[in-house]
Structure 1
Amino acid sequence: MESIVFTGGTSGFGVNWLYRLDSEKNAIFYVLGRDQAKFSNLVSFRPFKNTVHFIQCELDSFASIQKAVEEIKTKTNRVDCLINNAGVWSNDDKPTSQDDIELTLAVNQLAPFILTGKLLPLLKNSSCANIINTASFRHKDARVDLDDIQLMANFNAEQAYCNSKLYSILFTKQLASLLNNTQVSVNCFDPGIVDTPMLSQAFPSSLNFIFPMFRRLVARTPDKGAETGIFLSTKTHTTGGYFKDCKLKKPSKQAMSSSLSDWLWTESEKLTGFKYACV
């Protein structure tokens, strides 16, 4: 029986992903989330086949992530699959995390960085573990400032999101390289434009009048958005890959930059105060 840790499983296409895995696998799930009531409502509406533990965790808090990891360790000594799916699209007021870090960077990059690192010993206890990070085609619109990863001088919520999705790919490739001689694989994927609450939040307010048509004609259903994540969760693949529509794809030139991935890793260490034991 597998042990699966899942973030971003209580909203958006993550719900569809979680239920598909529940229907296809014999597993114990550890679902990290901030809203116990929301999860309870989800379960009461549609019970799970497998055992599912809700783990209270606020991904904008390093202390909360640490507490969640400690709770997981009391319940299992092995993780076979880690799904880093949670993400945010911030706003131009530049909200910050509980650790006073720009929120998009904190949740979309630093939370997976520290959660993955702290669960790595349990992942290595598996005979064949995999890590899956949710990226986006919007990584192609990233504009990185090497002197200002938080975009403090010129903040823009859309830019912060695009940058964070570039970071998801860079993190995936760097970690895959570090774990090259282990049984742990790391991949990421683009779910496409998916009809979720985040899509509504990200859609330009000046174009709200066409949003219903955009949803109907362009956006994917949550089931479709979850497909590649499910594919990566249930099959053995290469490591360090970027996928879309269940196929390996080539990301942007920036996403292939080893110097940029080295920079991101160093910045992530500085901001989290956490270093991987495998480095």
Structure 2
Amino acid sequence: MAGWTADRIPDQQGRTAVVTGANSGLGLVTATELARRGAHVVLAVRDVAAGEEAARRIGGDVEVRELDLASLDSVRAFAAQSAADLPVVDLLVNNAGLVLLGPRRTTADGFELHIGTNMLGHFALTGLLLDRLAAAREPRVVGLSSITHKNAHLDFDDLMSERGYGASSAYGRSKLATTVFGIELDRRLRAAGSPIVSTLAHPGLTRTNLTPRAWEHRGRLGRVIARAGLLVTQPVEQGALPQLRAATDPGARGGQFFGPSGFGETRGRVTEARLSREAADPAVGRRLWAAAEELTGVSYL
């Protein structure tokens, strides 16, 4: 489908969408477009004040709920509240993520911060919301990958990067893990005969606030690098289109992966993207799934 734009998003009236990290960047654009089409949108955010400001900007049928993906207690509290007062979740967009520079940091549960937030937090959230999703008419889960997953490798003997740590490689591994999770989730949903569809997307090189924040502590050099990024990145509205298509295209299939069509999948119109060999490997999917269940204590499918 050439030239897919937000104008192609179908009517979302009567649907409830949960978007993580919805107060800025790709998540804000995604939440805005879904609310514009009539969805009830839950902004699942770590910073509630920022979420409230985003809700005022978006307008429509939106609400803000606290969710810190770097804390399994917070994930469980969010899921418990949602199970209590959301009859269904039609759409879960696992958008939130972080990219850091500097020394290794950990989540509240002791996980390396990138994989703990970007993948394990979303793994737990999805599992805990699975009943709400299964109760919907055409439920869907969207995972946010990255082109960095293509050059990453999962070391199952050192998933938390304790033996050797580099921030950029840790981010790439977390995005590979996110991608493997989305594909393995699709396999398991199909095998279980579930109505839930799992899709994936990546934004290419997009102008969000993640990279500038990551460079903040590098002073003048960091600011120069952040500004240089403006020359090679695409606007956030364009970068959000792959995940919006993954979330709303009626023709999207389970396991389908969307991204930009340009050179190196860095920018351009939305098209079907390519998985790395490791991301598509069922053996890697099974192994990561078992590790994630053990680490988070959340078991499903």
TM-score, with normalisation over the residues of structure 1? 0.92
Whole-Å separation in 2 of the counterparts to 1:208 and 1:48 = 33
State the Cα distance separating 1:7 from its structure 2 match: 0.2
Which residue in the other structure is 1:83 paired with?
A: 93
Residues 142-197 of structure 1: per-residue CA shift (max 9 Å, x gap): 13212110110001111111011111111011110111122110011111111112
- Over the residues paired in the alignment, what is the CA RMSD in angstroms? 1.7
Determine which of 10, 23, 36 is the counterpart of 1:10: 23
**Residue aligning to 2:197:** 185
Correspondence for 1:239 among 254, 272, 276: 254
Please list every run of 5 or more consecutive structure 2 residues that lacks an aligned counterpart in the other structure.
Answer: 1-13, 261-269
TM-score scaled to structure 2, two decimals? 0.86
Moved more, 245-254 or 204-213: 204-213
1:118 aligns with 2:128: yes
Aligned to 2:167: 157
SS in structure 1 at match of 2:160 = coil
Q: Decide whether the 8 Å contact of 2:243 with 2:258 is kept in 1.
A: no
How many residues are treated as equivalent by the alignment?
A: 273
Per the TM alignment, residue 111 of structure 1 is displaced from its structure 2 partner at its CA by 0.8
Tell me which amino acid in the other structure corresponds to 2:195: Q
Query: Within the alignment, does 1:96 sit opposite 2:111 as a pair?
Result: no
Q: C-alpha offsets along residues 236-255 of structure 1, whole Å, 9 cap, x if unaligned?
A: 21101221133222211111
Label 1:47 to 1:144 Cα distance change in 2 as closer, same or farther (>3 A). closer
1:20 corresponds in structure 2 to 33
Counterpart residue type for residue 113 of structure 1 = F
Q: How far, CA to CA, are the matches of 2:70 and 2:59 in structure 1? A: 27
Deviation at 1:74, TM superposition (A): 2.3
Moved more, 110-119 or 69-78: 69-78
Could you list the runs of 5+ residues in structure 1 that have no partner in the other structure? none
Structure 1 match to 2:48: 36
- Compute the displacement of 1:17 (Å): 1.4
Does the CA contact (< 8 Å) of 2:101 and 2:214 recur in 1?
no
Aligned to 2:59: 48
Q: Is the 8 Å Cα contact of residues 55 and 64 (structure 2) preserved in structure 1?
A: no
Deviation at 1:78, TM superposition (A): 0.7
Code of the aligned partner of 1:224:
Q
Query: What's the counterpart of residue 232 of structure 2?
Result: 218
Distance 2:58 2:224 in 1: 37
- How many angstroms apart in 2 are the aligned matches of 1:179 and 1:210? 42
What's 1:265 paired with? 289
